[in-house]
């Protein structure tokens, strides 16, 4: 069994100069492909259940799916709640077997975000699992704008909550389909100067691949969340499978054809977070 907590995979990443992928799941097909890709690359992986995933499948079911895959995997697998918005939701995830809780209070005032995140940290610690918090709202492509993380607020947040990982807003955007933007490295370095907590980038699909690799190796960013990039790969594979044979109707057979393309796309993502080769 290789079920792991977030802290257990991020601490070695921070000291080893690499990052771990937090892969946003929507169903059995993608989470299974993600674990197979991680095994082929011999890298840890974080399976994430975000709001849209939870709207489709109840947390207790997701917990069992994640844990089943972890028990069969040869690499560490983290069962992670992504963007939990309430104490009750985080507690349900804990009771469902998740090993990491991400509480998102980034839309709230700093003091309230700190107080509520600290309560989730205490909940997680009582069960010997991990907690990720967010300081500085990360916006959405075509929607809400990002707020940007203030370094002084980040230092206060990290110190007073005790989070195991801290998601920050430095130019990253959720649901971005291209990589034309990039992260604000001066703001990142200012945050790194005031805290040693492992950092997390949500909206990692919109970060140029070269910058992802560079920062995985040279910064405190130990976790990049990837969702849109792999959903696009899955959608392309599914569309090809459906159109290949108009008479085919068995969804198991159709979905089977998405597996290998998604594994390949995931392996490409994972390789971009490796430590720099020496020699």
Transcribe the chain into DSSP letters. Answer: --EE-HHHHHHHHHHHT--EEEEEE-SHHHHHHHHHHHHHHT--EEEEE-HHHHHHS-HHHHHHHHHHHHHH-SS-EEEEEEEE-SHHHHHHHHHTT-SEEEE--TTS-HHHHHHHHHHHHHHHHHTT-EEEEEES---BTTSSPP----HHHHHHHHHHH--SEEEE-SS--BT--S------HHHHHHHHTT--SPEEESSGGGS-HHHHHHHHHHSSEEEEEE-HHHHHHHHHHHHHHHHH-TT---HHHHHHHHHHHHHHHHHHHHHTTPPPPP-
Closest by CA to 120, choosing from 101, 97, 143, is 101
Q: What is the pLDDT of residue 141?
A: 74
Q: Going from the N-terminus, what domains does the chain have, and what CATH number goes with each?
A: 3-271 (3.20.20.70)
pLDDT of 176 reads: 73
CB 255 within 8 A of CB 28: no
Whether the Cβ atoms of residue 173 and residue 180 lie closer than 8 Å to each other:
no
32's tokens: 């299974």
Query: How far apart are the C-alpha atoms of 79 and 98, rounded to whole Å?
Result: 5
Using CB atoms within 10 Å of the CB of residue 112, give its burial: 0 to 12 exposed, 13 to 18 middle, 19+ buried.
exposed
Helix axes 28-41, 251-271, angle to 10 degrees: 40
pLDDT for res 135: 96
Q: Residue 92 in contact with residue 59, Cβ under 8 Å? A: yes
Report whether 36 contacts 258 (CB < 8 A). no
Q: Is 152 a catalytic residue?
A: no
Active-site annotation holder among 82, 104, 150, 164: 82
Q: Which two tokens stand for residue 166?
A: 């801290």
What's residue 178's pLDDT?
66
pLDDT for the residue numbered 1: 56
Q: Six-digit token pair at 58?
A: 């109840």
Give me the tens of pLDDT residue by residue for the chain, a chain 279 residues long: 599 999 999 999 999 999 999 999 999 999 999 999 999 999 999 999 999 999 999 999 999 999 999 999 999 999 999 999 999 999 999 999 999 999 999 999 999 999 999 999 999 999 999 999 999 988 777 776 777 899 999 999 999 999 999 999 998 877 676 677 789 899 999 999 999 999 999 998 889 999 999 999 999 999 999 999 999 999 999 999 999 998 899 999 999 999 999 999 999 999 999 998 765
**The predicted structure's pLDDT at residue 26:** 96
Residue pair 105/147 in contact by the 8 Å Cβ criterion: no
- From the CB of residue 7, how many other CB atoms can be counted at a distance below 10 Å? 21
């Amino acid at each position: 069994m290789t079920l792991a907590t977030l802290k257990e995979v991020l601490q070695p990443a921070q000291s080893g100069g690499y990052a771990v992928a937090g892969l946003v799941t929507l169903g059995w097909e993608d989470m299974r492909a993600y674990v197979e890709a991680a095994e082929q690359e011999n890298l840890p992986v974080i399976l994430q259940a975000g709001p849209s995933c939870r709207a489709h499948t109840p947390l207790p079911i997701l917990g069992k799916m994640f844990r089943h895959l972890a028990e069969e995997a040869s690499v560490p697998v983290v069962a992670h709640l992504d963007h939990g918005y309430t104490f009750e939701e985080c507690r349900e995830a804990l009771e469902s077997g998740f090993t990491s809780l991400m509480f998102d209070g980034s839309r709230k005032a700093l003091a309230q975000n700190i107080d509520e995140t600290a309560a989730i940290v205490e909940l997680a610690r009582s069960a010997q699992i991990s907690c990720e918090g967010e300081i500085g709202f990360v916006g959405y492509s075509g929607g809400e704008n990002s707020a940007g993380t203030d370094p002084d607020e980040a230092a206060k947040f990290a110190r007073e909550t005790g989070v195991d990982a801290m998601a920050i807003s430095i130019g990253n955007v959720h649901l971005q389909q291209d990589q034309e933007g990039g992260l604000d490295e001066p703001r990142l370095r200012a945050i790194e100067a005031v805290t040693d907590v492992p950092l997390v980038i949500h909206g990692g699909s919109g970060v140029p691949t070269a910058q992802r690799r560079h920062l995985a190796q040279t910064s405190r960013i130990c976790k990049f969340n990837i969702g849109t990039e792999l959903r696009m790969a899955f959608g392309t594979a599914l569309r090809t499978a459906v159109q290949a044979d108009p008479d085919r109707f068995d969804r198991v057979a159709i979905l089977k054809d998405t597996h290998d393309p998604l594994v390949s796309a995931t392996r490409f993502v994972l390789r971009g977070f490796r430590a720099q080769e020496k020699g």
